Every structure is written in structure tokens, then in C-alpha cells.
Structure 1
Amino acid sequence: MTQSATAPHLPGAQEIREPAVAGAFYPAAPAALRKQVDELLAAAPDLDLPAPKAIVAPHAGYIYSGALAAQAYARLRPARDRIRRVILLGPAHRVAFQGIAVPTVAAFQTPLGPVRVDREAAAAIADMPQVHQLDAAHALEHSLEVHLPFLQRVLDDVAVLPLVVGPTEPLAVAQVLERLWGGPETAIVISSDLSHYHGYDDARGRDSATASRIEALDFGKIDGHGACGAYPLNGLLLMARHRGLCATRIGLCNSGDTAGDRSRVVGYGAWAFSPCGTREFAVGQRHAMLDLAVRAIRSGLRSGKRPEVRIETFSPPLQTLRACFVTLKKEGRLRGCIGSLAATRPLAADIAWNAWSAAFADPRFPKLTPQELPGLNVGISVLSPPHPLHVADEADLKAKLRPGVDGLIIADGDRRATFLPQVWEDLQDVDTFLAHLKRKAGMAPDHWSDSMQVSRYTAESFAAPVPG
């Protein structure tokens, strides 16, 4: 987990970028830095989750945002012996330029030793018009430097391609990320703080709005007022849409919560980006979601009213803007199912709303009674954002469908319906799946038209019986 005590041979000092903010943003003494980073990482939750493809983490001084950055880097620990390359992108604070600045040096030095620059990765993007060799942009820039000690302590042996991003369109950033995307050996890190120098309550509102845009993958809608790393961040959001990644909140805070006063704060956020449909939620988080659904149903049985949900009392993943379905089954038979296809509220609020609605407002069933609680099974499906599936005809749709993986939405005029991915358990044949979905939408089983619209999504699903 730590760097080797023997530093690799490097050609010469002129090829090393020396630390610019050691002793200011983090300790300059190796032992003190190692101790602080290790303590921050040790305090981060050790979740039973696969490492994400990308993370977003803040870049302030460690006393301000180090704990949140450590939580993001801790998510990479399961892949510490697999990740061999990190593409690290951050904003320009010192030098004004257009495009993306790549360094020419062989390594970036930290008090813990040198971090090798991946020259092969740099060469792979050298011909792109938005990429420029510009060491001046890196010389005093802190937005990348502060991340390096975390990488040194979390990953075994890694090369880094540091990229400082000036004003650049999301597509131009995404094109660079696409060329460098690689496989499981490559991780992406976006360095960004959020709002700057607002009052505490104002900043919380602004940062919550930015968080919602990140979680909706709403690229191009975040500017420098919402996040200083808006340019690289918007590029990642575009790539996340293209590559089918979902964003899960790791944490959201500001300097007023950590080491500063509350009159003028800086906001910090961290997110993990993983392929939609893979496991995003730890066992404990799943239990919390199921417990919330059951509490919403019990509240309805007691008072008939929807429960009040205080979002701030839930863990950050449940504060993430996501859509879900809640499904109730009794003795294996459907007893209610209500959900949202589009994310319009935090996940905790969506779970509580849909659980209550599945029990008491599904028009297909009478209201749930207390006598039905024993043996009632509650299931939750957390959906990825739906994306249009472009098909030439029904045969093309059948060829592109992934049985057991895809949830599907079909629409033609005012007729519309969806099947969750778990419907494949009962309708395993593509023809049968589509025919039943068309019937649900009020279409004939053989219906097709040039105006047919198709979207697909994935879901992470889990269920449990209501405790006695």
C-alpha cells in the first residue's frame, strides 16, 4: 500500500516538478505527511464495494478537505494492486490559458518521493488540438499536487498523467478522457472544490444544487461559480453518460464544517463513478434503504400519512439524486409497485415516497392492511438514468437488448410503459418480454412504428421480508 523506500532513478532534477505547496496545504516533513494521510485514510469507511472507475475529490488544504478527499481515495483501495495509471485532471488557478496543459517532466516530487508521469499516456494525446505542453501551468498549481500523497499511500505502484484544464468545452475534455480511458488498470480523478466565499447557509444551498447536477450527469450546466473544476468535471459528466456510469455521493461539506469560520466558506464534495448496474451500495446502505421503506409503510398504517423525511440525517449515498422503484410482494405475488423513472429528489425521499405509494396508492390493489405485514416482502430497485436506445426497427431492438440487464421504456404517442430489469426473471425470452411490455403500454404485441421511442436503463435491486 506504500511506495517503495527505494526511489526510482530519474534522469535529472530539471525533469522533476518540485512541490509548490508542501508546508502550506500539507506537511513538508515526510514522516508528518505520511502520518496525516494514513490517519485520514484509516478514518474513512472501508466499504464492501468494488473500486469505481472515477472519483471527484476536493483539493483544499488537508485540514479543510483532507478527510473528505480521503473518503474518495479509500474507494480505490480494493484496486490498489490493479490500478497502474491515474489520469488526474484539475483546474488552473495560477496561469491563464485555453485547453489542456500536459507537463514535459518525468516526475512530480512530493515529500514522500517522486510520482512518475506516464509519458506514454501523454504521447497518446499529443496530437489533439486542445492539448498543449505547458509546464508553466503545472509549476505552482496546487489542484493536482495535493492529490499525489493520497495516491502514493493508497496505490501500490502507479504512474500519473497530470492535466491542468483551462477553459475547454466538455466534448474536448471528454475526447481526451475517451482516448485515455483504458481498462481496469486506469482510474480517473477529477480535482475540484465547489462554491467559494459565501455564507454557510448560502453555500450549502449552492453546493446542493451543484451536487444534483453532478448526480444527474448534467454536463455543461456547471460553471466556475458552482465548482472551480467545472471544465474537467463537465467533461467527466459527458463521458459518464457516454460510458454508462452512475454518480454516487461520497460526501458534501464546507470549510465551516471542518476548520474555518462560517462567514465565508468554501464548499467540498466527493463522488464515485461506477458502471451503472454494478453494485454501488454497501450492505449497510442497502439495509438502511430497506429499513426506510418499511418505516414508511408502518407510518402509513399508523397515520395514513406519508412520512416526513429529513434528508440530512441519511448517509451521503442516500442523499444522492436518484430514482427508484419499490415493489411489494406477498407470498410471491405482486402486491404493489410504484416508482420514478427520472431522478427528481434525493434517493431517501424517493424510497419513502414510493414505499408508501406502493402500499397505499397503487390503483391496481386495495390499501395494505396491518394483517398483511407478516410475510410481506419489500424490494428496492435503484435506477440508472435512462438513455435513448437508437434502433432501426424491432429486429434491431431485439438484437441490442441485454436480457437480465436492461430495463426498458417504450413510448409511441401517448402510450408508454416500462419493465424493470428483474422482469426478465419471469419473461426470459426477448420476444415474450417485448410482447408483454407492449400490452402493458396498450399496444398490440406486433405493434411497431417509425415514431416508436425506446430508452433503457439498469438497476441495482435488493429485497427483504418485513421484520416481524
Structure 2
Amino acid sequence: MSTVRQPAVAGMFYPADPRQLAHDVQQLLAEAPPHELIPKALIVPHAGYIYSGAIAATAYATLRPAAAHIRRVVLLGPTHRVAVFGLALPGADAFDTPLGRIELDTEAARAIADLPQVTVSADAHALEHSLEVQLPFLQRVLGKFRLLPLAVGMATPEEVAEVLEKLWGGEETLIVISSDLSHFLPYAAARHVDEETVQTILKLGPPIDHEQACGGTPINGLIVAARRHRLTPHLLDLRNSGDTAGSQDRVVGYASIAFTEGDQGEQERA
């Protein structure tokens, strides 16, 4: 009997009604500004769609030209509810969303299962939103694909990079890192902090901490891998909740960044 992880934040972070969800995601994608890039990896935010959906859509819209070639998505996001040592697989066969079922790449899961930093924790995935909110976007852009979701807890950048290396693949594999930026700073302070964080990422610089980005651990691992594979980062969008749907008193920062192979033009600034 197959094990299926059910949606935990449908109706809270995004619509639970399939038709409304499909409409909202499609509208966000249609409104995203064009960027002529073919990403190998993306960093995308994971708040409720009213807050960060437009920023996330800017990243996912870049996948359209290559969508027919992408067959596997390796999705990493931070844990918010359950402490995890290393990177946790869900121990499931599929993830459901209101838009349908996504089969997990069990062969890829077996390929990394022997790494000491890889564990299995259904609890870490059960209520985790950082991974779930990415799925409807991926479903609308890619259609059919296999998913390898990893809930990232306490790990070094090198441990994350080692996992990515085993899963790197070719054009059939997309890597997605789910992360917001600063949390609950005043608007002007958040813009300053988030700009510095983004510049560090664009320069493939030193590790960032969890005050700068809640997904700092998987981002740092991607940076290590990006250096090895000579990826070029491009800033697609940088905003915060004060720009989208919230008060400017205490905001959360969001960025979308694409990593491409080779030099596909200059770094793009929002």
C-alpha cells in the first residue's frame, strides 16, 4: 500500500479549491515579468500566496521554455515545526495537492539513503509548508514530474552540497530551494538587510545565517554546489510583505533567484 502525504496548509497559505488554486497560480504566472533564462536551480519564497506568490511566480515563469525537459524536481526547504538532524526524506510514495498527485522519485531517494546526513521523518514533512506551497506552481508549469522533497534541519553546507551532487543530473533535473529572507523587521531595515543577503548569494559568497534567511542551510549548500558547477546566479525579484499585502511595520523579505549553467547574460536586478 502506498503512503501519500496529504496537504497541510491548503486553505491557509493557498486556496484549497482546485479551480480557484489553478486560476490564482495561472494568473500569478501570467503577470510575472519575462526573463530569458534556463535555470538549473531556483531560490523561491514560501509564504502565503497573497504575500509572496507574485515573487515566487517570477521564478517559476522562467521554467516554461525548458518545462518539456524537466522530469525531476529536487526540492529542499527548512523545517519550521519539527527539529531534524541533517536532511529528512518523507518516507512517502507521493504528495497530494488540490491539483492532483505528485509521485515521488523513490529511486533517487534510495541513491542518497546511505549518506549519514540523510534521514527519514514523516513528522518533519507532515505539517511543513515550505515545501508544500511550491508544489502547485510546479504542477502548473511542469505538468508531470517526479519529486524528491527534503526537509532540511541542522546540516553543514558541505553536507547539503553532497546530497545535491548525488542528485544533480542533467537538464531533466531542477533544484528548488525554498526560503524567505529576513523576518519581522521594519520595512526600511528589512530592505537593507535583504539587499545585503541577496548580494552575498549573487557573489556566491560566505555562508548566510538564519537571521538573513530561514532557508539559510539549503541556500548555503546550493552556493557550494553552484561554485563547483560554475553556475551563475540572477536576481529575478526582491520584495517584502510590505510591498505586497502587509503592514510595513514588521515585514518578511522574499527573493527569487535563478542559477544558470554557463553565462546566460548579465545578472538581472529587480
* TM-score bin, normalised by smaller chain: over 0.9
**Counterpart contact for 1:170–1:219, Cα < 8 Å:** no
Larger Rg: 1
Give a deviation string over 1:284-304, Cα, whole Å, max 9, x none: xxxxxxxxxxxxxxxxxxxxx
Give a deviation string over 1:279-333, Cα, whole Å, max 9, x none: 235xxxxxxxxxxxxxxxxxxxxxxxxxxxxxxxxxx8146xxxxxxxxxxxxxx
Tell me the equivalent position of 1:137. Answer: 124
Distance of 1:199 and 1:276 partners within structure 2:
38
Q: Structure 2: which amino acid aligns with 1:88? A: L
Give a deviation string over 1:131-150, Cα, whole Å, max 9, x none: 00111100000000000000
Of 21, 30, 34, which residue of structure 2 is paired with 1:42? 30
- Where 1:128 maps in the other structure, the secondary structure is coil
TM-score by length of 1: 0.57
Q: Structure 2: which amino acid aligns with 1:269? A: A
**Counterpart contact for 2:105–2:148, Cα < 8 Å:** yes
Query: Alpha-carbon deviation of 1:157?
Result: 1.4
Tell me the equivalent position of 2:76. Answer: 89
Write the mapping of 1:96-111 to structure 2, written as runs, cut at 5 A.
96-111=83-98
Question: Is 1:317–2:251 an aligned residue pair?
Answer: no
Question: Is 1:159–2:110 an aligned residue pair?
Answer: no
Q: Structure 1: which amino acid aligns with 2:34? A: D
Distance of 1:141 and 1:318 partners within structure 2:
30
Give a deviation string over 1:168-201, Cα, whole Å, max 9, x none: 1000000000000000000000000000001000
Q: Structure 2: which amino acid aligns with 1:260? A: G
TM-score by length of 2: 0.98
Tell me the equivalent position of 1:206. Answer: 193
Write the mapping of 1:55-66 to structure 2, written as runs, cut at 5 A.
55-66=42-53
Distance of 1:216 and 1:226 partners within structure 2:
16
Tell me the equivalent position of 1:180. Answer: 167
Tell me the equivalent position of 2:115. Answer: 128
Distance of 1:280 and 1:187 partners within structure 2:
20
Q: Which has the higher contact order (CA 8 A, sep 6+)?
A: 2
Q: Structure 2: which amino acid aligns with 1:317? A: E
**Counterpart contact for 2:82–2:123, Cα < 8 Å:** yes
**Counterpart contact for 2:51–2:241, Cα < 8 Å:** yes
Query: Alpha-carbon deviation of 1:118?
Result: 0.7
Query: Alpha-carbon deviation of 1:218?
Result: 1.2
Query: Alpha-carbon deviation of 1:80?
Result: 1.0
Distance of 2:64 and 2:139 partners within structure 1:
12
Q: Structure 2: which amino acid aligns with 1:155? A: L
Distance of 2:106 and 2:42 partners within structure 1:
22
Of 251, 259, 262, which residue of structure 2 is paired with 1:265? 251
Tell me the equivalent position of 1:7. Answer: none
Write the mapping of 1:393-412 to structure 2, written as runs, cut at 5 A.
none
Q: Structure 2: which amino acid aligns with 1:37? A: V
Distance of 2:218 and 2:115 partners within structure 1:
16
Query: Alpha-carbon deviation of 1:230?
Result: 0.3
Distance of 1:159 and 1:143 partners within structure 2:
18
Tell me the equivalent position of 1:372. Answer: none
Q: Structure 2: which amino acid aligns with 1:280? A: G
Query: Alpha-carbon deviation of 1:79?
Result: 1.0
Q: Structure 1: which amino acid aligns with 2:254? A: Y
Distance of 1:202 and 1:71 partners within structure 2:
24
- Where 2:39 maps in the other structure, the secondary structure is coil
**Counterpart contact for 1:122–1:161, Cα < 8 Å:** yes
- Where 1:80 maps in the other structure, the secondary structure is helix
Query: Alpha-carbon deviation of 1:219?
Result: 4.0
- Where 2:68 maps in the other structure, the secondary structure is coil
Distance of 2:253 and 2:219 partners within structure 1:
15
Percent of paired sites with the same residue: 56
Tell me the equivalent position of 2:7. Answer: 19
Distance of 1:118 and 1:158 partners within structure 2:
9
Sort the Cα spacing of 1:219 and 1:120 in 2 relative to 1 into closer, same or farther, 3 A.
farther
- Where 1:154 maps in the other structure, the secondary structure is helix
Q: Structure 1: which amino acid aligns with 2:87? A: I
Query: Alpha-carbon deviation of 1:50?
Result: 4.0
Question: Is 1:67–2:54 an aligned residue pair?
Answer: yes
Distance of 1:318 and 1:111 partners within structure 2:
34
CA RMSD of superposed structures (Å) = 1.1
Write the mapping of 1:240-255 to structure 2, written as runs, cut at 5 A.
240-255=226-241
Distance of 1:205 and 1:177 partners within structure 2:
30
- Where 2:69 maps in the other structure, the secondary structure is coil
**Counterpart contact for 1:248–1:280, Cα < 8 Å:** no
Tell me the equivalent position of 1:280. Answer: 265
Give a deviation string over 1:319-366, Cα, whole Å, max 9, x none: 6xxxxxxxxxxxxxxxxxxxxxxxxxxxxxxxxxxxxxxxxxxxxxxx
Of 221, 225, 230, which residue of structure 2 is paired with 1:235? 221
Tell me the equivalent position of 1:284. Answer: none
Which 5+ residue runs of structure 1 have no aligned equivalent? 1-10, 282-315, 320-468
Runs of 4+ off more than 4 Å: none
